[in-house]
Amino acid sequence: MARPTGISPMNKLERALRVPPGSRIKLANIDPANTHGVLKAEAAERLTKNLERLSELQYRLYAESRRALLVVLQGIDAGGKDGTVRHVMSGLNPQGVSVTSFKVPEGAEKRHDYLWRVHQAVPEWGQIGIFNRSHYEDVLVVRVHNLVPKAVWSKRYRQINDFERMLSENGVVILKFLLYISKEEQAERFRLRLEDKTRTWKFSPADPKERVYWDQYIEAYEEALRKCATRWAPWYVIPANKKWFRNLAVSQVIVDALERMNLKYPKPAAELSAVKIK
Ligand code: ADP
């Protein structure tokens, strides 16, 4: 099937957002309000096209049922993880998608290695799995707050790469997104949450306190990007101050990845030409 018009010129965007393996990304050099030349006026139409295509590709992934897509969403508080799930995954068939939100480990999670709960949430063949936070918390919040000694968390980059490589070699296509907003934008979003009655539930008094650790989080993210941007599980830094651009960019990267998978409908189970429906 021909690609819908409007998608191919955006391949450049996918490349611009992808973190090259081994590169030392300085987040301070990335403008969180950058829209990579995309105009707001054209973004809505492009997003609609992407969501339509996403829905078609999801159907093929489901029909094929030999591989899975794992989308990892990370970001500093109020970075827009929930909004991305709502806007980008809205066109998907709920039968083929799962969202897992990773919180502070509890119960059995605490009695296993940190990847135990993560592996269980990996999507099955034919499915799209979305991680709202992920195993990267184990080298982010855990590192910033010294929840385990450095000797423990510093080994996790390699462990995560090995784990992701194993998944990838077994048919799980992995895309990792850092939704990157500025400190000012975060303050603005917290303020909005306080003012808007429909959003106060999202506000936790702990959130503004976490702002004290902003620089440490940035450092932790930079190290995760440097050590865990791999060929088999790429990281994308999404300038996310502008929600319309964030949604378009994430949808674009996902569509491009699914296109590259060259998904095929399985052959019918038997010769169908002789089948008569009476
Ligand atoms: P969210 O902010 O994602 O909407 P919550 O307000 O419930 O949801 O926050 C979840 C919290 O769980 C975050 O503060 C996050 O840092 C924390 N968390 C997630 N995974 C881990 C982990 N492995 N170790 C410690 N804390 C974690």
**Exposed / middle / buried, residue 83 (Cβ in 10 Å: 0-12, 13-18, 19+):** middle
Over range 34-63, report the average pLDDT: 97
**Best of 133, 193, 200, 217 to mutate for ligand 1, by most ligand atoms within 8 A of CB?**
133
Q: How far is CA 84 from the centre of its chain?
A: 9
Q: How confident is the model at residue 271 (pLDDT cuts 50, 70, 90)?
A: confident
Residues in a beta bridge with 99: 130
Residues in a beta bridge with 179: 75, 238
Q: Are 238 and 246 in contact (CB under 8 A)?
A: yes
Name which residue leads in pLDDT, 272 or 120.
Answer: 120
Q: How many CA atoms lie within 13 A of 23 on its CB side?
A: 14
Given a cut of 70, whether residue 67 has pLDDT beyond it is yes
Closest CA to ligand 1's atom 16: 141
Given a cut of 90, whether residue 202 has pLDDT beyond it is no
Closest CA to ligand 1's atom 24: 104
Closest CA to ligand 1's atom 10: 103
pLDDT at res. 10: 63
Q: Pick from 8, 42, 43: which is nearest to 246 by CA?
A: 43
* Ligand 1 center–CA 186 separation, angstroms: 17
pLDDT at res. 277: 93
**Ligand 1-lining residues (CB < 6 angstroms):** 77, 101-105, 132-133, 137-138, 141-142, 147, 204
Which domains, from first to last, does the chain contain? Answer: 35-260 (3.40.50.300)
* Ligand 1 center–CA 269 separation, angstroms: 45
DSSP code at position 120: H
Of 4-13, 150-159, 263-272, minimum mean pLDDT range: 4-13
pTM of the model: 0.95
Q: Are 226 and 22 in contact (CB under 8 A)?
A: yes
Over range 16-38, report the average pLDDT: 97
Given a cut of 90, whether residue 48 has pLDDT beyond it is yes
Given a cut of 80, whether residue 7 has pLDDT beyond it is no
DSSP code at position 240: -
Summarised one tens digit per residue, pLDDT across range 158-190 is 999 999 999 999 999 999 999 999 999 999 999
pLDDT at res. 111: 98
126 SS3 class: coil
pLDDT at res. 273: 81
Q: How confident is the model at residue 9 (pLDDT cuts 50, 70, 90)?
A: low
**Exposed / middle / buried, residue 70 (Cβ in 10 Å: 0-12, 13-18, 19+):** buried
Largest CA distance in the chain: 72
**Bridge-based pairing state of the strands 172-180 and 235-239:** parallel
Contacts of 111 (CB under 8 A, 6+ apart): none
Q: How far apart are CA 195 and CA 213, in angstroms?
A: 24
User: Tell me, what amino acid is at 143?
Assistant: R
Mean pLDDT, the chain, whole residue set: 95
Given a cut of 80, whether residue 13 has pLDDT beyond it is yes
DSSP letters spanning 199-222? TGGG--THHHHHGGGHHHHHHHHH
Over range 243-272, report the average pLDDT: 95
Over range 85-91, report the average pLDDT: 93
* Ligand 1 center–CA 214 separation, angstroms: 16
Given a cut of 80, whether residue 5 has pLDDT beyond it is no
Share of the chain above pLDDT 90, in %: 88
Terminal C-alpha separation, the chain: 32
Closest CA to ligand 1's atom 11: 103
